Amino acid sequence: MNSIFHEFINLNGDEIMINITFPDGNIKGFENNPTGLDVAKSISEGLARDCVAMELNDKIVDLKTQITWDSKIRLITTRDAEGLEIMRHSAAHVMADAVLRLYQDAQLTIGPVVEDGFYYDIDMQPLSEDDFPKIEAEIQKLIKAKIPFERTEVSKSDAMKFYKNEPYKLELISELQDETISLYKHGDFTDLCRGPHVPHTGLIKAFKLTKVSGAYWRADQKNAQLQRIYGTAFFNKKELKAYLYFIEEAKKRNHRKIGQALDLFSFYDEAPGMPFFHAKGISIWNCLLDYWRLEHRAAGYVETKTPIMLQRSLWEKSGHWENYRENMYTSTIDDDEYAIKPMNCPGGMLLFGRRPHSYRELPVRAAEIGLVHRHELSGVLAGLFRVRAFHQDDAHIFMTPEQIKDEILGVLQLTERIYSTFGLGFHLELSTRPDKSIGTDAQWETTTQGLQSALDSYGRDYKINEGDGAFYGPKIDVHIKDALGRTWQCGTIQLDMSLPERFNLAYIDSNNEKQRPLMIHRVVYGSIERFFGILVEHFAGKFPLWMAPVQIALLAINDDLVPYAVQVQQTFEDAGLRTEMDSRTESLNKKIRDAQIGNIPLILTIGNKEKSSGNLSVRTLDGKVRFGISHEEFLARVLEHIKNRKPDLNIFE
């Protein structure tokens, strides 16, 4: 194994002066091909201990890389985002090494870095989290040993020989175009890898295995099912502790558990990936849609509805059959092939094209709450976050070229109003033309510039994602931030010139000439099911009063007071409030506890004192009780709180 590794040497033996340019513009000379580590040590030993890698002439490489010509470098330390990613990449190798030491028959595939850590897909016996302690103990041994990472480059044929007994690695190597393959070694472990890596395993200061799940090789159900082991790592234990606390908070907010506990929704084997909403879940759902409709009417939208199933010819015209066929459900009816819609757009094109339009009518803002179906692999289904059947709050805005900027700004402002109602922050990303697309270069240039101009006018910072647009146009993605600081991509604004052309849409301009409209596709909630799940976790099941499926619980302290409690309940029901009467023969403390577990915002205790005084005792979810509140004051406060859609639960502030 070690024979494929070699030392880097200065072949001519002469002293060479290498000029290193630092990010601040300073230049320093070095003799005899220094490494990045040599450069760091020349500044300070403390910096050298803190260095992870270096950026050499705009390419991130190992700290041990020799610098053989005048170069500009940036030292990457444990404080840099790139440093954390590199260390986690190294941690994935160490984890794989530990697994192989414990499970000799395991076969490695790939082990990438992901947003909060890393994972490695391994063909091996099924694991559970109960196996983590022994794997972590083995990892700890490797870390304490401070084993150096060594890079070598070999020919493709030598790499194939080296991995002759590892089919997954052979498959990966065979697909590489390069004839030179890089390998990384620490101790007795060698892995196929581009790098870079930290200088030694001891730089992995704090780590934790987090979960294990099944994953198909190459995401293909026909292939072997692998064990995907997730982990995370940090440069200090304090950061790891904070992250693990965050994970525990996220578990407490898991929308699947809360949804079951609060009787909101469920899933069944008879319809995998297709949620069933219960009465309380539908109550929240209707609140979301009622608010959505209110905001859209105020913004000048009309609401439409299109069929769920349409003929294949329509999907061929739209381009979906060619570009999205593998994700569509199809059926044959009367010898004609149909598809259940994965998107609402083509139906919207038919509606606009049903009659002539004048420029005076534009823009036309047509919205639709459309049920769509997309085939997702069973392994990626995840509660409400990844489903096969979901509703999109689509809208298609048809407009003239002069209206592009104002319409996009209008969508951004509408989106901001809606998200702020839920206490959600957001950031924006612009995604440009992907490799697989329809439309001309000129169309893509016009649409991309239109989105970018609107974003510049909107005044918020935004990120550009090259090549991540939809196949029919560039898009703005809106990423919301929840109470835990997690981001979720929900809203999307896509500018499209291709579909209006494919469907031959037109309007008559001021010169009485036929013109092609431009079109915006946009969603705010995105998938309403997914947005619902995000809100469950954002609020931890404690929904704002205006959304809560049960807003008021009435607890009569004995059977004799139930008739009076029913009268009070009816008063609130008549005012449009959602109430629940608990007339069980249970103790008052148990009734209160059950109402609190159910996250009912307002709990009213009805006793003899309340009946005789005509006042109320009001308990809120923070455990505070307020006595002697008149019915009129209580009702006024509640209705005002709901009217303003306040994101908190406290009606007394």
HEC string for 472-504: CECEEEEEEECCCCCEEEEEEEEEECHHHHHCC
Our answer to whether residue 502 is catalytic in this structure is no
Our answer to whether residue 186 is catalytic in this structure is no
Our answer to whether residue 93 is catalytic in this structure is no
Percent helix, strand, coil in the chain (nearest 5)? 40, 30, 35
Cα–Cα distance between 75 and 282 in angstroms, integer? Answer: 55
Place of tokens 């004995």: 558
Our answer to whether residue 596 is catalytic in this structure is no
Cα–Cα distance between 21 and 31 in angstroms, integer? Answer: 14
How far CA 412 is from CA of 194, 299, 423, 424, in Å, comes to 41, 12, 16, 14
Task: Name the β-bridge partners of 56.
Answer: 59, 73
Q: Which of 38, 123, 131, 394 is catalytic?
A: 394
Place of tokens 């009780």: 625
Who's near 403: CB < 8 A, 6+ residues apart? 362, 363, 518
CA dihedral 566, 569, 575, 576 (to 10 degrees): -110
CB atoms within 10 A of CB 98: 23
What token pair was written down for 639?
Answer: 């209705």
Our answer to whether residue 570 is catalytic in this structure is no
Strands 475-481 and 487-496: antiparallel
Are 271 and 536 in contact by the 8 Å Cβ rule? The answer is: no
Our answer to whether residue 66 is catalytic in this structure is no
What token pair was written down for 562?
Answer: 């139930």
Are 139 and 98 in contact by the 8 Å Cβ rule? The answer is: yes
Q: Which of 51, 193, 287, 345 is catalytic?
A: 345
Place of tokens 């065979």: 174
Q: Which of 88, 253, 341, 374 is catalytic?
A: 374
Q: Which of 386, 388, 396, 591 is catalytic?
A: 396
Q: Which of 475, 502, 538, 591 is catalytic?
A: 475
Cα–Cα distance between 47 and 54 in angstroms, integer? Answer: 12
Our answer to whether residue 521 is catalytic in this structure is yes
Angle at the Cα of 455 from the Cα atoms of 450 and 459, rounded to 5 degrees? 150
Catalytic residue numbers read 345, 374, 392, 394, 396, 475, 521
